[in-house]
A and B are shown apart, each in its own frame.
Chain A
């Protein structure tokens, strides 16, 4: 089946640094990818919709200058958490929509811990 890969799967960083998370569709092309955040024992919250070749669309309450999204190709979207703080520690999950079938696939998730 279709695979969406996220990297890194986990990362620990110091407060104030920036962290980049990659989301790749390995065997299909995706014009649209989505970024979600999941705090412990909570649900997934949609942060933004990443559109290939255009600016991302952010959900209400999500700071676009803090969570930079780049979707430069049909197989790659990146999320950069800038000036990370401990409250940004979370499980970040991407999903990609196969532009051929419309099916949605989730990445493995990236666990960010900010010290």
Chain B
């Protein structure tokens, strides 16, 4: 089955700086890669996703890049703000998400004021 590795487990950055979280996946058949933000005790919130036919996607301060050959994808957050503090999970799935998601272990992002 799919295995998703996520690094780092904790990331502390100064407010206004950029944050980068990286994930690798093992199943070359995976073709859907979403990123979720989860606050304590709440449901995961989709912040951005990318499909395997695209190399990069951007939405305001958030961007995701995908390297299919190397089987890795990354989340980039620029101009970080205190409200960006949360746990972020990457995930991978086959059939565009219809196979269920395999999640990474999560990254606790801390934005220092």
- Residues 1-31 of chain B, each 1 if its beta carbon lies under 8 Å from chain A, else 0: 1000000000000000000000000000000
Whether A109 contacts B43 by the Cβ 8 Å rule is yes
- Measured between C-beta atoms, what is the minimum distance from A83 to chain B in Å? 26
- Looking at A13-21, A41-49, A68-76, the stretch in contact with chain B turns out to be A41-49
Whether B89 contacts A108 by the Cβ 8 Å rule is no
Residues on A lying within 8 angstroms of B by beta carbon are 32, 34, 42-46, 49, 60, 91, 93, 95, 97, 102, 104, 106-109, 111
18 contacts between A and B (CB under 8 A): A34-B101, A43-B103, A43-B105, A43-B106, A44-B101, A44-B103, A45-B103, A46-B100, A46-B102, A60-B1, A91-B41, A93-B44, A102-B96, A102-B97, A104-B34, A106-B44, A108-B42, A109-B42
In the complex, the number of residue pairs spanning A and B with C-beta atoms less than 8 Å apart equals 45
Closest A-B pairs by Cβ, 6 of them:
A106-B43, A43-B103, A46-B100, A44-B103, A43-B105, A34-B100
Whether B98 contacts A32 by the Cβ 8 Å rule is yes
CB contact between A111 and one of B34, B41, B97, B100 (< 8 Å): that residue: B41
- Point out the residues of chain A lying under 8 angstroms from B41, CB to CB: 91, 109, 111
Whether A46 contacts B43 by the Cβ 8 Å rule is no
For window 56-97 of chain B, which residues contact chain A by CB distance below 8 Å?
A: 89, 96-97
* A17–B99 alpha-carbon span in the complex (Å): 31
Closest residue of B by beta carbon distance from A34: B100
- Measured between C-beta atoms, what is the minimum distance from B103 to chain A in Å? 5
**12 extra A-B contacts, CB within 8 A, seeds A44-B101, A91-B41, A93-B43:** A34-B101, A43-B103, A43-B104, A43-B105, A46-B101, A49-B99, A60-B1, A97-B97, A102-B97, A102-B98, A104-B101, A106-B43
- Point out the residues of chain A lying under 8 angstroms from B89, CB to CB: 43-44
